[in-house]
Structure 1
Amino acid sequence: MTDDDGRIAVALVDDQPLFRSGIQMLIESQPDMRFCGGAANGQEAVELAAAQNPDVMLMDLRMPVLDGVAATRRIVEAAHHAGTDKPKIIALTTFNRDEAVVGAIRAGASGYLLKSAEPEFLLSAIRTVYSGYSVIAPGSVHDLFAHLARNPEPRQPDLQAIEVLSPRERDVFLLVAKGLANADIAEGMFLSEATVKSHVRTILAKLGVRTRIQLVAFAYEHRLLG
């Protein structure tokens, strides 16, 4: 939660004490942020989120007791049931092509970063996610999903996954999944940007995903991008 002077409350979950200490010092050096707690595993993360209600939580994906994907799912589901969108979760991973990243995003994470990210990039990502946007590690999120979606036995697109969408919504879905911004979609489809935003909200609701980055993961999982 933001405190009385409006600072962003940031929590950190990681099983390495030295890493936690370093990130805590970085957060506390920022005038617009405050560190509201650390946890060493996913179970502690769930408890920390409930007790402190942070604005943003940095979540390592590979931890003992309960991994980051499962912890993210529990925290996001608890927030959904409580009628809030906090905390925003940024998954942390050691390497870029980590299959756990897709699981974290599908579980509700607002994006992911490499643990080796530059301090300024990490701080910028926290502010970006707090503002309601997604973040990804440098490089293309599509490259990550395409790499993880490769299969030696090609599968047909799962068109049933989007049968709940109208034809127009399917067109918008595919353009969003390819990474186009609302303005570009509006221009290409001769629609207003407000209409595109409305379609995107409806698409997210119908598919049961909460963010555009989750929509990209959904598209790759169901082989809808070729």
Structure 2
Amino acid sequence: MLNIRVLLADDRMLVRLGIKSIFADQRDIEVVGESGDFEEILELVVGLKPAVVIIDALAHDLDTDKLTRRIIDQSAQSIGILILANAHDQGVLSAIRSGANGLLLKHSNPAQLISAVQMVAKGYYLLPPPADDGGAPPATPASHIRHPPKERIEQLTERELDVFRLVSHGWSNAEIAQDLALRESTVKSHIRSILAKLDLRNRVHIVIFAYRVGMFPGWASHPSRRETMGERDSA
């Protein structure tokens, strides 16, 4: 069974205890370390080699974006970073652009946190659905992603739109090729075209763009979870 090693980054002990209790009965997830100190977190990343680091954006003494970049810069192995935040936290999507794999809202339930850790450990990207209370979602420094015109989506062909949706769900090129009965080289070609038409730089920006224009359903889907694909087909 997959053993997902998790490191908790939060300066509040009670919050860390609460998160640890959620994973207590999970046989595939193990909390191997915890800290609320910036430099100690970096030392634990190197020493413990966790698969996922959970960063609480509400921690008082931790700069989420800076911590994300430092973890990625000094990690020899691939590492997943999951950020816990409120819907309107400023700067959180900047951490996503810096390399974090996912954002989970603080009001999410324990099952969603467990699922998010499992998905991030597999390399998928996760973003919550757009806010439904009329407020603005978190801002990102890239102006073309901060206010993406929905009209740009109309430039995509039907097949490119299919690929766009699956990329925004975190699917790999191989999974997309299998699902759409395409060659991987064709999928790569479609992604290059999507990036050019939407004026984006990489796959993470596709996820952010989908989130900003309200086309992102909130949870990544993949071939082993076909029950969720009805959302994609009806989008």
TM-score range normalised by the length of the shorter chain? 0.5 to 0.7
- The gaps in structure 2 that reach 5 residues or longer are 146-154, 213-235
5 Å-filtered alignment, 1:62-141, equals 62-79=58-75, 82=76, 84-86=77-79, 88-93=80-85, 95-137=86-128, 139-140=129-130
* CA displacement at 1:16 relative to structure 2: 1.3
Compute the TM-score of the two structures, normalised by the length of structure 1.
0.65
Say whether 1:57 aligns with 2:53.
yes
Say whether 1:181 aligns with 2:166.
yes
- The gaps in structure 1 that reach 5 residues or longer are 159-169, 222-226
* Structure 2 counterpart of 1:213: 204
Say whether 1:192 aligns with 2:182.
yes
- Taking a change above 3 Å as real, the CA distance of residues 27 and 147 of structure 1, as seen in their structure-2 partners, is closer
Compute the TM-score of the two structures, normalised by the length of structure 2.
0.63
* CA displacement at 1:218 relative to structure 2: 7.2
CA contact (8 A) 2:102 2:125 kept: yes
- Taking a change above 3 Å as real, the CA distance of residues 53 and 220 of structure 1, as seen in their structure-2 partners, is same
Q: How many residue pairs were aligned?
A: 188
Match of 1:16 among 2, 8, 12: 12
* CA displacement at 1:213 relative to structure 2: 3.3
- Taking a change above 3 Å as real, the CA distance of residues 19 and 9 of structure 1, as seen in their structure-2 partners, is same
* Structure 1 counterpart of 2:216: none
Aligned amino acid, residue 13 of structure 2: P
In structure 2, the residue corresponding to 1:38 is in which secondary structure?
Answer: strand
Say whether 1:44 aligns with 2:44.
no
* Structure 2 counterpart of 1:163: none
* CA displacement at 1:38 relative to structure 2: 0.5
CA contact (8 A) 2:22 2:110 kept: yes
Cα offsets for 1:64-96 (capped at 9, x unmatched): 4441211111111223xx3x312x000111x21
Cα offsets for 1:111-164 (capped at 9, x unmatched): 101122100010011111111211223x238x99x74559xxxx7x69xxxxxx
Over the aligned positions, Cα root-mean-square deviation in angstroms equals: 4.2
